[in-house]
Amino acid sequence: MSLLLIACGSPKPKSNELETKPKAKPTEPIAVATASGETTHLSEKNEKMWRISWKAAEVVASGDVKVGTMAGVSGETFEVITVKGRTEQYISSTFEAESAEADNKANRLILRGSVKISATNGTMLAERVEYDAKRGLYKATGKVTFESASGFIGPMAALYASSHTDKAGKAILDKVGTSENFFK
């Protein structure tokens, strides 16, 4: 009498083959192009910092880092004001530019090309403007001018301004000046 053994399955792996997992591929940057659109950037407290519209955009994402470049932009910056116990969000300025980049982690918006920052009390024009939303601070560079009812200054290499909303809810650019007098 002969005995026939039949085994099913795959052969037992060698010890160095145990629990070998494929290596993770490095994250490749992903670029997404869009047509016109709009977005609102919010603070950690869920308050509006800026709203921006664009004619075309490209977002490049790699892991947690996202960089967006927008063309043909316009929008508003915001300020939170508490009056008589009520907290409201008001527009503190408006802007236009040929292009923009948004850094949401740093709460910065960089505007480039024929930049125009407007408020009820004046208009600032520049080649490049960096907006720090946490401080409500603009740093304008490149042939900067500022025009208001009080007069016209410029062109100059750089100018700083802060944007606020007055008690009546009107957007104003205040404390406009060069680095020598702005930060005193």
138 in Cβ contact with 111 (< 8 Å): no
- Return the pLDDT at 23: 58
Across the chain, mean pLDDT equals 81
pLDDT at 26 over 60: no
Neighbours of 78 (CB within 10 A): 24
pLDDT tens-digit profile of 118-166?
999 899 999 999 999 988 899 999 999 999 888 898 899 999 988 888 7
Greater model confidence, 69 or 2? 69
> Please, what are the domains in the chain?
72-182 (2.60.450)
- Return the pLDDT at 53: 94
Neighbours of 84 (CB within 10 A): 4
d(CA 170, CA 58): 33
